Amino acid sequence: MAKITYPLFAVLALAAGPVLAVEYNQVLPDKSQVAFVSKQMGVAVDGRFRKFAAQVSFDPAKPEAAKAKIDIELGSVDAGSQEADDEVKDKNWFNIKQFPTASFVSSSVKPLGGNRYELAGKLTIKGKSQDMTAPFTFRQEGNGGLFEGSFTLKRLDFAVGAGPWSDTDTVANEVQVKFKFAVAAAAAGT
């Protein structure tokens, strides 16, 4: 019996082939999104950024080693109307002439179980940096994957909405940022 079991085990082991770690590291911009929800006089206002560059490195088997860097082109804002777009590009808001991009650089990823994680890092807007954490989910989709999450920031911590716009009765201080990044996988070491 031992003679039959060993050859069978050897054949099964060879048939299984090497186990490769999969790293998701190619962001698909046309299937990804960075959006936000703010409130003006209590009414939710949706917006998004049309241009951003994202770099990720994520292996579901080693989530603690994950890295992310996102640069958002603030001039690509879509705040719902041309008038709103022009206003938020001005110096009281994003001041895109002096600060054309916002960025996020991760410092850690913590697994929470059930394809849920917590991303921590530094968010920089208008030259001001704050530590941020964002819960997110990851799910595999065929040869790729999808990251989805959100976090809330306080715009006045970044001097966004200065001067007459600093009144939080008119525009709420809290802004919810939502992100979705579709990614393709590459075998580790490629």
109-162 pLDDT tens trace: 999 999 999 999 999 999 999 999 999 999 998 889 999 999 999 999 999 998
List Cβ neighbours of 36 (8 Å cut-off, separation of 6 or more).
Answer: 46, 47, 48, 175, 176, 177, 178
Flag whether 3 is in a domain: no
pLDDT value at residue 16: 38
Q: Which of 49, 54, 44, 46 is nearest to 24 (CA)?
A: 54
Token digits of residue 47:
């917006």
Give the domain range for residue 38. 20-187
Flag whether 36 is in a domain: yes
Flag whether 142 is in a domain: yes
List Cβ neighbours of 20 (8 Å cut-off, separation of 6 or more).
Answer: 187, 188
Count of the separate structural domains present in the chain:
1
Q: How far apart are CA 176 and CA 35, in angstroms?
A: 8
Q: What is the CATH number of the domain that holds 155?
A: 2.40.128.110
What phi, psi does 108 have (nearest 5°)?
A: -165, 160
**Report field, pTM of the whole predicted structure over 0.95:** no
